[in-house]
Amino acid sequence: MQALEKAFLAGWESTRRDALPTGIADGNDSLRELKELTASAGAQVVGTALQRSSDPDPATLLGRGKVQEVRAEARASGADLVIFDHDLTPTQLRNLEKIIELKVIDRTQIILDIFARRARSREGQLQVELAQLNYMLPRLSGHGTALSRLGGGIGTRGPGEQKLEMDRRRIRTRIRNLSESIQHVRSQRALHRAHRRDQNLHTVALVGYTNAGKSTLFNALTSSGVVTSSRMFATLDPTIRSMPLDAHSTALLSDTVGFIRKLPPHLVAAFRATLEELEGARLLLHVTDASDPEYQAQDAAVEALLDDLGVASTPRLHVWNKVDLLAPGEWRKLAMADRSVTVSARTGAGLENLRQEIAFALDTDPMVEADFELSTSDGKQLALLHQSGTVVSTDYKDDRVLVRAIVPESLREKLKSTPPVPLRER
């Protein structure tokens, strides 16, 4: 049996008041999350170090004195690598490896490693590889004339294209091919979503912080056997199953990748083809681990990512999960919150009430036909009409576009259209 890699963790935290995340007491909470990521990646944590300062050091993130301290402690603990709870620039990465004399990786690298382990579908594997190559490209390094090409003028003469440039060219070609393949996947998923809308099948999507119990709740509501684990990012590939609501109606339930704090923006972009399932959902179930003392900060991270994805306005139901781990008085307070339900996916408590609330939420957002007058330059709202409803007609007049569409009433209210025409009156 292969021995686990030993990892030393290092973090940096700003001392500025305006930089402190909501609900986070100090950087140790962030390092606690990095410990979970490290365990999910299959490594053993042998030590940690945290520096607090007003600004990060541009050359080494932590400052040279702290880096020397990390070097001494990491080598004394027998660490094989040092993991930084931050996105390192290519320069910082090279400087740190030179000083510490151990393998150095950052937060993005360890997340990508976990994603690579979890991806099972062809779609997931494509997205992981694309994210890895985009991360790798600016971090390729070389020295002296090895970077030069044949050419004219001072500073351009050299031996011609060398291995580094060939590597970069191959990576760019592979990135282009992967992007085309993922675009094909996005087109296929868009067709599936359009078919579900045509069949009047309502999709409900689970969102929430990683390890909040989404997959366990998914299995409980759909009688499925999706793999569940206490490890972070146990679910990466999206899964959709039928979910019975009552004796006469069903909906489709979608399970997606869990969110975390400080999820790098380029990872969100790489997995947009997967997360687009959220765009077609009529209802989002925001699942929170009620037993986690940091649930407020976790919920804030989820809200920020939903806003980045452009689905913050989608109707939402807050699901407090794992209430079996709370005292009765604690979960009763949570149950009193507006638009929220308390459940235990593990024991089944509250699941029937959740089904009723889902059915009620889907019924309270009827589809209506309405007219919209938009600017021809307003591509975002035009795309939203196509994604969330069915466009009946489109007329262009000068710099304006008149659109008639069948959309959820909540979306009509958001776009402030002309009065709706209920479908039964058409």
Q: Do domains 5-114 and 199-363 have the same CATH topology?
A: yes
Cα angle 279-284-288, degrees, rounded to a multiple of 5: 130
How many CB atoms are located within 10 Å of the residue 73 CB?
Answer: 17
Tell me the CATH number for domain 367-425: 3.30.70
First to last CA, the chain: 69
Checking if the pLDDT of 47 tops 90, the result is yes
Q: Average pLDDT of 1-22?
A: 76
pLDDT in tens, 197-251: 655 578 899 999 988 888 899 999 998 776 555 555 655 666 788 898 876 678 8
Mean of per-residue pLDDT scores for the chain: 79
Question: Can you give the pLDDT at residue 426?
Answer: 45
291-to-234, 334, 389 alpha-carbon distances in Å:
19, 11, 37
DSSP string, 21-80: PTT--SHHHHHHHHHHHHHHTTEEEEEEEEEEESS-BTTTBS-HHHHHHHHHHHHHTT-S
Checking if the pLDDT of 157 tops 50, the result is no
Question: Can you give the pLDDT at residue 97?
Answer: 92
Residue 403 has which token pair?
Answer: 């659109």
199-to-54, 298, 383 alpha-carbon distances in Å:
55, 35, 21
Checking if the pLDDT of 99 tops 50, the result is yes
pTM for this entry: 0.70
pLDDT higher at 261 or 25: 261
pLDDT higher at 138 or 274: 138
What residues contact 107, with CB distance under 8 A and at least 6 apart? 34, 37, 83, 84, 85, 86, 87, 262, 264
Q: Average pLDDT of 100-117?
A: 88
Nearest to 410 by CA among 301, 305, 303, 283: 283
- Using pLDDT thresholds of 50, 70 and 90, give the confidence band for residue 156: very low
The beta strands (E) that lie in 190-234 are given as 203-208
pLDDT higher at 409 or 31: 31
Domain coordinates in residue numbering, the chain: 5-114, 199-363, 367-425
In CATH, the architecture of 199-363 is: 3-Layer(aba) Sandwich (3.40)
Instruction: Please identify, in words, the CATH class of the domain defined by 5-114.
Output: alpha beta
What residues contact 84, with CB distance under 8 A and at least 6 apart? 9, 10, 11, 12, 61, 96, 104, 105, 106, 107
Q: Which of 145-149, 177-181, 247-251, 338-342 has the highest mean pLDDT?
A: 177-181
| Least trusted range by pLDDT, from 15-29, 121-135, 323-337, 399-413 | 15-29
Q: Average pLDDT of 180-198?
A: 73
